[in-house]
Structure 1
Amino acid sequence: MNKLPLSLSELRALATIATYRSYRKAADELGLSASTLSHMMRTLEANLGVRLLNRTTRSVAVTAAGAQLLKRLAPLLREFELAVEEVNQFRELPSGTLRINASEPAARILMEAILPRFLMRFPQMSVDLVTEGRLVDIVANGFDAGIRLAESVPQDMIAVPIGADTRFVTVASPAYLASRSRPLAPDDLLRHPCICIRMPSGKPYRWEFEKRGQALVIDVKGQLTLDNAEIMADAAVQGLGIAYVQEHTVARHLAAAQLVTVLEDWCPRTGGLFLYYPGHRHIPAGLQAFIEVLRGID
């Protein structure tokens, strides 16, 4: 029997490059150098006698031949991963890497208690935590799970709550409020410089309020627009305007009296953070262990 002109490691490498469209990112994911990864792909293409990837100085794209190969091999690669994972179930403690995509505020909450407890309880596990504002397809991007606010969790995912409900609050520094009239209703914000929020899509975020069943959405204005909650809080501390952020983000500033809340009765609690993952595939042992830790933390 002739030896197949390809190996499992080469196929996994090809699939990873196709996912990230980058040799550098794929090399980081696989724990290889970019030069080693490039050599593997040249060897694979030479053995098959066909180009699988189109390379430029800035990007990598899969050729028609490469796409067809990956389409046919994807189920086999997934079955291989499942087979290895099933063996992992027999371990006393799970091992491997758990890849999680989360917003920055969610990542900070994880770091406070959940991740330290998980890593201490399961020393053979490691966590690759990627933070970004935009919502990504966790399956297509190779993540085991994502963490977002309830309203952002895709409907086709299984969701596990993390902690209690949360809320967004409007905050300002005492010095700022000392020189201006305090807002008593959301419409009053239109007469104040606000620290505007830019969504990952690039669109401005309209602030949402609710009181006794009455919901209001305010299109605030201001000289400063940011996309990072921690920097928004810092800007509010500096007296640059009123900010609208998750209460958890400004908890230390409130405790230190660097910030105070305004429109308190217009900021109800909403659904909190959820860990979510696809329900149509086998749950890795590492993710099962992580969920177990989540459910044990009140």
Structure 2
Amino acid sequence: MKQNFTVRQGALDGVEVFLSVAHHRSFRKAAVELGVSPSAISQAIRVLETRVGAALFMRTTRSVGLTEAGERFFSRAKPAFEELIAASEAARGLGQRPAGLLRLSVPRAVVPILLEPLIASFCQAYPEIEVEIAASEELVDLAAEGFDAGIRMGQFVAADMVAVRLTPPFRFVTVGSAAYFKRHAQPKHPNDLQQHACLRMRRSSGALAPWSFNENGHVFEMAVSGPMIANDFPTMLGAAIEGVGLAQVPEPIAAAPMRAGNLMQVLEPFAPMTPGVFLYYPSRRQIMPKLRAFIDHVKSRENAKSEARNKPHKKH
């Protein structure tokens, strides 16, 4: 049986006309208010009454009044229509200015090193926007889960997403604690890792992530083994600091512990580069002002950082 794909007459057709006539008790005044002819008002009311199945107005040559059916219709239609108008205004406001709830899906590791300073300055710049951060390693479906955007390393961003760079490319580094290296010799080549305790990452797909290395421009992966499996980098990093084993993590999250002397890097010549961290969102012709404001804020901060890095230092 062939389906009917035509759009049916909406239940709201003629309601605004009805409310205007009921308010003014006049077809002519309603026509002036709505900017149409009195005959158009009469036609709209006739169609509405036919659809409802009852007369809504009593008409005389001198006045217009509501029938009992009209009174009942008016008592329920008026607040419902006003609420609909308010809903439209609220949606229009979000479509015209940066406001509302901005939901971001992010990995735990980027929150302290990247998002906290960024969010602080963004919230100060846009007080009408609330930012909700869902920290998870899982690669979620942004649209299905109701997120405006996500943040991930570039290699995990799908090709059909719009990506905005948040960081420069960085290395994945292999690190261990001084306590660990008191018990084990430092590896000189990735093949030496067969004799080491390596902390591993379980991806959201359930697979164990191999470690990656770059030897003279040749990137290769290696399966490692060890006493612990985690599903996020901060947990792996903490275990490495405690001497549980070696960890391979993004260099930015290992930078502070290395500066503090809690971790030391090994296999440095073999550290592979990654594309960096990106903000990503579904490709749409029009994005909401709240997300546009966040993207512009990110870009302005990155531009300022880039200018600061490239600015020549004065010699004293």
TM-score by length of 2: 0.65
Q: Output the CA distance in 2 between the equivalents of 1:235 and 1:82.
A: 52
The residue number in structure 2 matching 1:243 is 247
Aligned to 1:271: 275
The answer on 1:230 being equivalent to 2:234 is yes
Deviates more, 1:130-139 or 1:244-253: 244-253
Per the TM alignment, residue 141 of structure 1 is displaced from its structure 2 partner at its CA by 1.2
CA RMSD of aligned residues (A): 2.4
Deviation, structure 1 residue 84: 5.0
Instruction: Give the equivalent residue in structure 2 for 1:182.
Output: 186
Deviation for aligned residue 1:282? 2.0
Asked whether the equivalents of residues 202 and 208 of structure 2 are also in contact (C-alpha less than 8 Å), the reply is: yes
Letter in 2 for 1:155: A
Asked whether the 8 Å contact 2:108–2:234 carries over to 1, the reply is: no
Which runs of 5 or more structure 1 residues have no equivalent in the other structure? Answer: 5-79
**1:101 corresponding residue in structure 2:** 105
The C-alpha deviation readout for 1:95-121, integer Å capped at 9, x for no partner, is 111111111123333433211110000
How do residues 1-298 of structure 1 correspond to structure 2 at under 5 angstroms?
A: 84-88=90-94, 90-91=96-97, 94-298=98-302
* Alignment: residue pair count: 221
Write the letter of the residue equivalent to 2:109: P
1:219 maps to a residue whose letter is: A
State whether residues 196 and 224 of structure 1, in contact with CA within 8 Å, keep that contact through their aligned partners in structure 2.
Answer: yes
- Counterpart Cα distance in 1 of 2:146 and 2:158: 16
8 Å contact from structure 1 (residues 163, 297) kept in 2: no
Select between 257-266 and 268-277 the one with higher mean Cα deviation. 268-277
Q: Where in structure 2 are there 5+ consecutive unaligned residues? A: 1-9, 13-85, 303-316
Partner Cα separation in structure 2 for residue 203 and residue 163 of structure 1: 27
* 1:231-260 C-alpha deviation (Å, 9 max, x unpaired): 211111111111111112222211110100
Deviation at 1:269, TM superposition (A): 2.5
Instruction: Return the index of the structure with the highest Cα Rg.
Output: 2
Identity of aligned residues (%): 35
- TM-score, normalised by the number of residues in structure 1: 0.69
Q: CA deviation at 1:270?
A: 1.6
Cα distance in 2 for partners of 1:224, 1:231 equals 10
Paired residues of 2:170 and 2:273 also in contact (CA < 8 A):
yes
Q: In the alignment, is the contact (CA less than 8 A) between 1:186 and 1:216 conserved in 2? A: no
Residue identity opposite 1:204 in structure 2: L
